[in-house]
Amino acid sequence: MRGRFITFEGGEGSGKSTQVALLAERLRMRGIEVVTTREPGGSPGAEAMRLLLLSGVVKPLGPTAETMIFAAARDDHVQTTILPALTGGEWVLCDRFIDSTRIYQGVLGNVDRRIIRALERATVGDVMPDLTFIMDVPVEVGFERVAGRGQVKDRFESEETDFHVQLREAFLDLARDEPERCIVVDASQTPERVASRIWLAVVDRLIKQRTPRVAS
Ligand code: T5A
């Protein structure tokens, strides 16, 4: 049986990586085999492209070229990591995926929606997430968390506050447009509370459906 594919999306510092790790732990405790991964990156080729994308050296080429490099990274990631895991029955938890391109490059970068969707079809095909968590936090909370790590800001973290406010709204719009796939999570709560909310949704949407019914 094909594994399940869950993605985590949202603004900077919304706690995606933290929740990927907590959900993986919970699933493994139930005996489910899990692969955790991230974008950009998640395969050796895509990790090399991540360095280019986050360093900012691609930015001067413009948003369309940047979108194509994100797509090239995704293609490698899907073919090398995600698809083999799902086919082998493992669950894949991915920190960012297609929705980040739709929002960062499409909505914020004004890249033509037809280009975004064409690249998505070419790279992802039917390897679509079964469930997507949209991690929602006020922009200032995300900033504080990122600043708390004491690392140098990357190409997207360095954008103005207004960019991040629009980003948050765009993710919420996307969740409204695709309610059967996307669940908005209040990510301003403690990591444990956020993890409980996510776990309830995973049980409800994915685990209950896999449990064979006992004939009465
Ligand atoms: N991008 C990506 C595009 O433009 N297009 C694309 O197609 C794709 C795939 C990726 C960048 O690339 C862009 C978007 C991004 O700008 P990244 O380094 O992977 O860059 O950055 P992010 O995905 O934004 O990841 P971050 O690590 O910055 O944030 P996370 O993963 O959301 O947050 P996390 O879990 O690392 O937590 C951040 C800090 O907060 C604490 C953690 O301990 C950590 O210190 N924390 C909490 N504190 C309090 N309460 C909670 N509930 C907390 N949860 C976590």
Residue type at position 159:
E
Q: Is the CB of 125 under 6 A from ligand 1?
A: no
Evaluated on CA atoms 23, 120, 72, 176, the torsion sign reads negative
User: Residue 214's pLDDT band (boundaries 50, 70, 90)?
Assistant: low
Evaluated on CA atoms 153, 156, 162, 167, the torsion sign reads negative
> Residue 211 pLDDT more than 70?
no
Q: Is the CB of 14 under 6 A from ligand 1?
A: yes
- State residue 159's pLDDT score: 80
Domains observed in the chain: 5-210 (3.40.50.300)
What Cα–Cα distance (Å) separates residue 160 from each residue in 14, 49, 140, 167, 193?
A: 17, 24, 12, 11, 30
Q: What mean pLDDT comes out for the span 6-24?
A: 97
- State residue 103's pLDDT score: 98
Average pLDDT, the chain: 94
- State residue 210's pLDDT score: 65
Atom of ligand 1 nearest to the CA of 194: 52
Rounded to whole angstroms, how far apart are CA atoms 180 and 124? 19
Q: What mean pLDDT comes out for the span 180-192?
A: 98
User: Residue 141's pLDDT band (boundaries 50, 70, 90)?
Assistant: very high
Q: Which two tokens stand for residue 75?
A: 């293609």
Q: Is the CB of 50 under 6 A from ligand 1?
A: no
Each residue's pLDDT tens digit, 78-132: 999 999 999 999 999 999 999 999 999 999 999 999 999 999 999 999 999 999 9
Ligand 1 pocket, mutate which of 75, 93, 134, 156 (most atoms under 8 A from CB): 156
- State residue 175's pLDDT score: 98
Q: Is the CB of 148 under 6 A from ligand 1?
A: yes
Nearest CA to ligand 1 atom 7: 101
Q: Is the CB of 123 under 6 A from ligand 1?
A: no
CB 166 within 8 A of CB 109: no
Q: Which two tokens stand for residue 88?
A: 């082998």
**Rounded (to 5) percent helix, strand, coil in the chain:** 55, 10, 30
CB 121 within 8 A of CB 172: no
Ligand 1 pocket, mutate which of 7, 12, 22 (most atoms under 8 A from CB): 12
- State residue 203's pLDDT score: 97
- Report CA(62)–ligand 1 centroid distance (Å): 23
